[in-house]
Amino acid sequence: MRTYYQPEIFNNTIDGVDRKRNIIATYYLKDRKEGIEFMDHLSLIQSIALESSTGTWEKVKEDTLEIRSTLSCKLVGYYQIPNEDKYTAEAVIQFAISIDAWIENLPMMLLSIAGNAFAYSQYLKLMDISIPDDLLAKFKGPKFGIDGLRGLIGVKERRPLSLHIIKPKMGMTPKQTADQCYETAMGGVDMIKDDEMTSDTYNCKYTDRVKYVMEALYKAKKKTGKMPIYLCSITDEAYKVHDRARKLVELGGNGILITYSQGLSSFKEITEDPEINVPVMMHGSHMIAGMHHIAWPVFAKLCRLCGADLMLTPTIYSSVPMVSHEEGLRTAQVKLAPLGHIKTTAPMPCAGVHPGTAPVIVGEYGPDIVIPAGGGMLGHPDGYTAGAKAWQQAIKGSMETENDQQFIEFAKQPENYELKRALEKWGMPKRPDSHWLRASEELRPKPMKFD
């Protein structure tokens, strides 16, 4: 009998699979064939399911029913999206992917959920993954999370943390780097990080940078009473990076930065090492190249599982906006949402932000974030220390005021002079009004004045 659709792939629902042993991967799938009205979307999905697990385009005798039933991807959800183009098929689909296909093997897990499947459709996009209990237990997640970061710095109140991004991206000597860090530390900055483009350059090795910067921070601490976390970039070849992480700790470093191009498995090996008991930041870097096929909340969940204490987060208030407003916010929410025993990953709304953006960023992302600034701190008209002070004032003002006018009045107070100067240079973005919740402009609430 000819069978167009393999029942071991299709005759499934999300209620009938073992939720402890299967990842549920959710995809958006859109395909268009000009002039072809009968596209047979399920045949395409069958090819994707087999390519991501057991099969190939031509079945062989060893490809048994037992193998397919045990290890093939199973379609557990198909939700067609109506459209008016008869040549386009569009749907949200869900696969159940058995973790027995690769036991404890992170690279193979990534291949299963985000591998050859993308060759089958130009518009296939991985939107979400649900991690089963038996797999979640294998991950340790972040050592610190946002609460742990505050504890290391000595911040008792629940508020955002400020972070100085060292600029220029590369080229400074260890002493020049340390001098810049000293100035922002004197302004009260909470954290400092290398730019992701720096690891070792001809004139600045990471070992020298750690020594100089930590000496500068201890010098500042004697005057301020506060020790910022310095996230030193150590991205390198896989066989080198773990030794570099241990060496950094031996030298007295108190934070690590690694880019996504390092690979999640290599990253996870470092975060799970008990001897590397310092926060580790994941920098998005190469994620940007994959964003057409993988949604940022998926990246966020994977990096959190692998131990990222903090991680950059896209936002529309950035100088390099990459995703929709909703996807940026959802990325941050996924980092903070309950996830079994896994601690939070601190979101970092980033790129091109300045003190005037603090109220809207804090209002949208909440207090459990780290706000990184490079030019938006170092470009302060009165220098680096003033730039760091302006950010501390902006964070305080964002937590204590309810609207833009109150924030401006806060900036006018003499003790917040640095914030006022920052606003004079960069201003404040106005958050667009939302019109979704009222039928018309006339029905929107408006204040009234009485004599």
Edge-to-edge strand ranges of the sheet holding 370-373: 346-349, 310-313, 280-283, 256-259, 229-233, 191-193, 161-165, 370-373
C-alpha 307, offset from chain centre: 12
Report the alpha-carbon distance of residue 438 to residue 199 in Å, rounded. Answer: 51
Report the alpha-carbon distance of residue 22 to residue 16 in Å, rounded. Answer: 11
What burial class does residue 103 get, using C-beta atoms within 10 Å of its C-beta: 0-12 exposed, 13-18 middle, 19+ buried?
exposed
Torsion over CA: 206, 211, 212, 218 (sign):
positive
DSSP at 342: P
- Catalytically annotated residue among 30, 167, 211, 242: 167
Task: Specify whether the CB–CB gap between 67 and 140 falls below 8 A.
Answer: no
- Catalytically annotated residue among 74, 283, 380, 389: 283
Cα separations in angstroms, 264 against 108, 255, 311: 12, 18, 13
DSSP at 343: P
Residues 6+ apart with CB under 8 A from 131: 23, 139, 301, 305, 339
- Is-catalytic flag, 41? no
Phi, psi of 322 (to 5 degrees): -120, -30
Report the alpha-carbon distance of residue 155 to residue 140 in Å, rounded. Answer: 25
- Is-catalytic flag, 205? no
Element holding 328 (H helix, E strand): helix 325-336
Report the alpha-carbon distance of residue 176 to residue 195 in Å, rounded. Answer: 14
Written as six digits, the tokens of 114 are 């985000």
Active-site residue numbers? 167, 283
